[in-house]
Each structure stands twice: as C-alpha cells, then as structure tokens.
C-alpha cells in the first residue's frame, strides 16, 4: 500500500470516527432533550391538575361563602323586621284605661326585643312611676316600614317609619308619622340603640 493510500485510509478512519462520535453525541443530546421534554410535560400536567383542583376548591369555597353570606343577611333581615314589628306594637298599641297597657307593663313586655338603653329611650327610665292624666288610645295604622341602611361585621342600621293614630279623651283620632333610626344586634336579636329623628307629617 502506498503512502498516499495509507493517508486516505487513515483520513477515512478518522472521518468515520468523527461521524460516529457526532452521531453518539446527537443521540445523547436527543435523549436528554426527550427526557427534559417528558419532565416538562409531566410538570405541566401536574400544574394543570393542581390548577384545576385549586380552581375547583376556590369555586366551592366561593359558593359556600355566597350561600352563607346570603343566609346570614337573609336571617338577619328577617330578625330585624320581626323584632322591629313586635317592639313598636308595644310602643304604639295601647289603651291607658287598661292596666295591662300601662307604660311599665309594656316596657316589661318589650325586654325580649331591645336592651335597657333602647327601652329607656322608648318608654322612659321611670316607667313605673308614670300614670296617665287622661284616657288615651293609640294604635299603629300600618306595620312599621323598615329601611335597612348599612351593616358592619356585627350590627345592622335601619330607618323605621311609624304610621300611627292617637285619641285623647275620646277625641277624634289624630294621625301622624314618625321616623326612627335604630341599630340592631343580629346575634342578640335585639335593638341596641334607637333615636327618634322627628315627625314626618301629621294629618288632623
């Protein structure tokens, strides 16, 4: 074999080794890339699954919150209206000729619906000492109209419109409208504060 042929053979061998090394390198690179792609796909699948679970949990918690909030507010509103109706019945439905309708008796009956401070505002602190000088008949003309204003984490605030009539010494009943602002504790289910804002209108 001549030197030229030997050189060609060595060149071919070296080129073949280079191709073989390159091929192995490419195969290894391809395997690594395939492995990385598979790992990324698994991570992506895991993340999607976690996101679906998180979204599902969020939707579930959000739905539960809405239901509980609706239930809480609905229940609180019902208690507010019911308590307000019962309280103002005792304030405005009375006949002073009846002992059972005395100021002290009505104040006592109203204890389940308001705290002592609110009762003192509506019936007077010294209700036991109060005695009517003339016969008086009072009654609600309509159920109290309750307008909820706002609420915080604990209490509700509302305006209450009272439509009533009163007859003194058998005179012709006089009608009037009064506006109150009250604070209601939905836990105790009692009026905790109340203030008379004033007279809206009076019809003789």
Quick one: pLDDT at residue 129?
A: 80
* Structural domains counted in the chain: 1
Does the pTM of the predicted model rise above 0.85?
no
What pLDDT does 17 receive? 66
Inside any domain, residue 136: yes
Which CATH number does the domain housing residue 195 bear? Answer: 3.10.450
- Please tell me the distance from the alpha carbon of residue 79 to that of residue 188, in angstroms, as a whole number: 10
Specify the pLDDT at position 1: 54
Q: Spell out where 61-189 has E strands.
A: 94-95, 136-140, 145-151, 156-168, 174-185
- Both tokens of residue 105? 């008796």
Give the percent of the chain with pLDDT over 70: 66
The model's pLDDT over 140-196, given as tens digits with 9 standing for 90+, comes to: 999 999 999 866 668 999 999 999 999 999 899 999 999 999 999 998 999 999 999
Q: What contacts 147, CB < 8 A, 6 or more positions away? A: 158, 159, 160, 161
pLDDT band at 70 (very low <50, low <70, confident <90, very high): very low
Residue 47 lies in a domain: no
Q: Is residue 21 part of a domain?
A: no
Evaluate whether residue 56 is within a structural domain.
Answer: no
What is the average pLDDT across 54-58? Answer: 66
- Cα 106–Cα 107–Cα 113 angle in degrees, nearest 5: 105
Q: Alpha-carbon distance 180 to 134, whole Å?
A: 26
What pLDDT is stored for residue 72 in this prediction?
47
Q: Quote the longest CA-to-CA distance of the chain.
A: 148
- Report yes or no on 92 lying in a domain: yes
Strand (E) or helix (H) holding 116: helix 116-123
Give the whole-angstrom CA distance, residue 68 versus residue 117.
31
Residue 2 lies in a domain: no
| Residue-number span of the structural domain to which 189 is assigned | 64-203
146 lies in some domain: yes
Residue 54 forms part of a structural domain:
no
Contact between residue 158 and residue 180 where contact means Cβ atoms under 8 Å apart: no
**From its phi and psi, is residue 170 left (phi > 0), alpha (psi between -120 and 50) or beta?**
left
């Amino acid at each position: 074999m001549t030197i030229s042929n030997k050189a060609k053979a060595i060149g071919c061998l070296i080129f073949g080794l280079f191709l073989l090394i390159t091929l192995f390198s490419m195969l290894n690179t391809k395997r690594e890339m395939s492995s990385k792609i598979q790992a990324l796909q698994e991570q992506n699948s895991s993340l999607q699954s976690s996101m679906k679970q998180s979204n599902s949990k969020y939707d579930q918690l959000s739905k539960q919150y809405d239901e509980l909030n609706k239930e809480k507010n609905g229940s609180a509103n019902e208690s507010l209206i019911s308590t307000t109706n019962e309280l103002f019945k005792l304030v405005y439905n009375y006949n002073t000729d009846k002992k059972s309708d005395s100021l002290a008796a009505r104040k006592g009956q109203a204890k389940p619906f308001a705290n002592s401070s609110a009762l003192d505002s509506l019936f007077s602190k010294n209700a036991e000492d109060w005695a009517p000088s003339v016969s008086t008949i009072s009654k609600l003309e309509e159920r109290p109209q309750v307008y909820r204003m706002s609420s915080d984490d604990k209490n509700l605030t509302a305006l209450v419109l009272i439509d009533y009539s009163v007859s003194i010494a058998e005179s012709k009943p006089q009608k009037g409208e009064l506006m109150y602002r009250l604070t209601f504790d939905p836990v105790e289910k009692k009026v905790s504060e109340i203030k008379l804002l004033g007279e809206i209108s009076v019809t003789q």
